[in-house]
Amino acid sequence: MSFLFSPFFLIPMVLVGWAQMRVRSAFKKYNQVPSMARLSGAETARRILSEQGIYDVAVEETGGSLSDHYDPSSKVVRLSSDNFHGHHLAGLAVAAHEVGHAIQHANGYLPLNLRHAILPVANLGSSLGFPMVIGGMLFGFTGLIDIGILFFAGAVIFQLVTLPVEFNASSRAMVILSQGYLAGDEVSSAKKVLNAAAMTYVAAAATAVMQLVHLLFMRGSDD
């Protein structure tokens, strides 16, 4: 299993670890900084939704840390407990970002719809792709290797499509927050939170691409 020590594995591991450390550091810093608007994440999300004329999206609390997300299938913005109840800059920024996804959905933003459509394929690819390739190599089934690579390619496409979705949501959030929700240095602070979060998606996409390239190299060497 020397491939586990390949740069195609080690570099992505370091990249993902760095991105996760950065986002946790940013959240730890800015969830200690109260927002001048004195709004909780839940209040921020509901107010923005109302201002945007979106009345069919709910805002709910969810467990876990940094588990915030928008569910387009049920039209729900889910905020982790700290961001749901907290009156800090981190919660404000995250809430606005997740509502940014709801705005994308309401406006028929193509990359969001595409990401949602390929999610089942991506889940299969991320869970089955690599095991199928390894199994195919161990037992000499070339067809299984090729199917595994195709499955994993679906997961890579999902990660790549995620990038414009996330960056666009953050851009929408910052425009909205700059119009009455944040003052002075709060704007740059909120941007730091969202930029740190965005790097986790960049790291995930880079990791997926490098792993796909590695699978293709493994496929070539197996011929």
Enzyme catalytic residues = 98
For residue 27, the one-letter residue type is F
Task: Report the alpha-carbon angle 133-213-200, nearest 5.
Answer: 105
Distance between CA atoms of residues 97 and 150, nearest Å: 32
C-alpha torsion angle, residues 177, 43, 26, 173 (rounded to 10): -30
CA pair distance 186, 2, nearest whole angstrom: 48
Closest CA relative to residue 154, chosen from 165, 144, 143, 162: 162
The CB density around residue 114, as the number of other CB atoms within 10 Å, is: 15
d(CA 156, CA 150): 10
Of 123, 116, 184, nearest in space to 154 by CA: 123
- For tokens 């195709």, the residue is 150
